[in-house]
Amino acid sequence: MALVLGLAAAIWGIGIFVGLPHRLRWVGIGLLWLAVVLAHLALPEGHPLRAATGGTAAGWVLLGGLVAVVAVYRMALGFLKSRARGALEGDAPQEALFRDAELRRYARHIILREVGGPGQARLKRARVLVIGAGGLGSPALMYLAAAGVGTIGVIDDDTVDATNLHRQVIHGDPDIGRAKVHSAADKMTTINPFITIRPYSRRLTEVDAKDLFDDYDLILDGTDSFETRYLANRTAVAAGKPMTSGALTQWEGQVSVFDPANGGPCYACVFPTPPAPELAPSCAEAGVIGPLPGVVGSMMALEAVKLITGAGAVLRGEMMIYDGLWGETRKIRVTPRADCPVCHGAGLATGTGRA
C-alpha cells in the first residue's frame, strides 16, 4: 500500500514540476491504479508485488469505485451550476447570479426539465404576496420560501393562539401571543436565508390594498374572511394579477387560480355573493382536521410555482376539490360570467357560465 501511495505522490509531484494540468495528473494516478488492479488479477497469489500492494484487488476496486462516485457527483454539480449560471447570465445582471449555496439548495429544481435554470431564476425574481398566515398560509409560506421565491410578503392582523397550533404548522408553542406575520417570517428565514420577507401586521383594507398589490406579481389568498377575500379579488382583477385561492372546512378543501387577465374567471364569477353564515361556518365553529390545511396550502404553493416558472398547466378555469375524509379528489370547470361586475366590468373576461 505504501509503495502505491508513494508512486502516486511521485506522479503528482512530477506533474507539478513539469506544469501538467490537474486532469493529466489524475490520468497518471488512474493508470497506476489500473496497473495495480491488473497485477492482482494476473499475478499468482503470494507474488511479492501483490503482497506489497495489499494482497488482494478488492480494496483497490472499492477505492476506485469511491473515487468514481465522488468524480461523478462533482461533474453533476458542475453541470447544474453551469446550467443555472448560463440561464442567468443571459437575462439577469451579474449581481443576481446564484451563490454556490443556492445552487446546491435548488439542485433538485434545476434538474427538472420543466423548471431548470431559467425557471429557478424566475422564482428568484418573483414577488409573491400571501394573505393570511394561518392554516392555508402556513404551508404555502414554507414551501414558497423553500422553493426560492425571492420576495415573499405576508399580511395578517392576528396573533398566534394555542388553538391554531394543530394545523398552523409555521408557528410553535413559544410563538403564542406573537403576531402571526412575525412568527411566520422567523420560520421562513430559518428555512431559507437567501430570500426577502416582508411582514405586514395589519388587516388588508381598501385604503392600502392597491398599493400593496402593485408591489407583487402574484397573490395567494389564504384568508378565512369573505370580506377580505372579495376585496383581494377586486384588487387583483384591477391590477391584472393572478390570484391563487384556497378554502377549507372540516374535511374538505378547494383550490383554484383566478386569472381574468389570461381568460379565466375571477373569484366573483364563481361565488357572486358570500354564502349565508350558517352555510359557511368558521373553523372555530365547525372544526377542521389538522393535516387538511397542509394539503390545500401545499397545492396553492405548487400552483404559484407553476405560474411563476411556466411549468405544466395551472388550475386556471378549474377548481380542484379534495375530500380528506374519503380520500377523493375531483376537478370542476369554472368559467367567466358575462354579468360579473368585477372582471367583466374591467373588460378582462368574456363568455358566460358558472361552476
Please give the pLDDT value at position 300.
Answer: 97
Please give the pLDDT value at position 14.
Answer: 73
Please give the pLDDT value at position 93.
Answer: 46
Please indicate, yes or no, if residue 117 is contained in any of the structural domains. Answer: no
Same domain, 319 and 217: yes
Structure-block grid coordinates of residue 100: 454556490
Please indicate, yes or no, if residue 10 is contained in any of the structural domains. Answer: yes
Same domain, 155 and 254: yes
Please give the pLDDT value at position 212.
Answer: 96
Mean pLDDT of the chain: 84
More confident site: 279 or 191: 191
The letter for the amino acid at 137 is: G
Pairwise CA distance, residues 7 & 150, whole Å: 51
pLDDT at 216 over 50: yes
The letter for the amino acid at 275 is: P
How many domains is the chain partitioned into structurally? 2
Please indicate, yes or no, if residue 96 is contained in any of the structural domains. Answer: no
* pTM of the predicted structure, to 2 decimals: 0.72
pLDDT digits (tens, 9 = 90+) for 138-194: 999 999 999 999 999 999 999 999 999 999 999 999 999 999 999 999 999 999 999
Please give the pLDDT value at position 92.
Answer: 47
Pairwise CA distance, residues 121 & 115, whole Å: 9
The residue segments making up the domain with residue 226 are 126-333
| Residue 346 confidence class, pLDDT cut points 50, 70, 90 | very low
Please indicate, yes or no, if residue 119 is contained in any of the structural domains. Answer: no
* Domain end marker among 85, 117, 142: 85
Total Cβ atoms within 10 A of residue 138: 26
pLDDT at 15 over 70: no
| Residue 345 confidence class, pLDDT cut points 50, 70, 90 | very low
Please give the pLDDT value at position 2.
Answer: 66
Please give the pLDDT value at position 98.
Answer: 87
pLDDT at 114 over 50: yes
Please indicate, yes or no, if residue 51 is contained in any of the structural domains. Answer: yes
Same domain, 58 and 147: no
Query: Which of 139, 142, 141, 103 is CA-nearest to residue 124?
Result: 103
User: What is the mean pLDDT of the segment spanning 33-37?
Assistant: 69
Pairwise CA distance, residues 121 & 117, whole Å: 6
Please give the pLDDT value at position 95.
Answer: 40
pLDDT digits (tens, 9 = 90+) for 283-342: 666 788 999 999 999 999 999 999 999 999 999 999 999 999 999 999 999 999 999 999
User: What is the mean pLDDT of the segment spanning 98-120?
Assistant: 92
Please give the pLDDT value at position 167.
Answer: 94
pLDDT at 12 over 60: no
Structure-block grid coordinates of residue 239: 391590477
pLDDT digits (tens, 9 = 90+) for 241-277: 999 999 998 999 999 999 999 999 999 999 998 877 6
Same domain, 164 and 68: no
Please indicate, yes or no, if residue 350 is contained in any of the structural domains. Answer: no
Please give the pLDDT value at position 80.
Answer: 65
Pairwise CA distance, residues 119 & 56, whole Å: 50
Please indicate, yes or no, if residue 130 is contained in any of the structural domains. Answer: yes
Specify the CATH number for the domain of residue 131. Answer: 3.40.50.720
Percent residues over pLDDT 90 in the chain = 62
List of residues 6+ apart from 59 with CB closer than 8 A: none
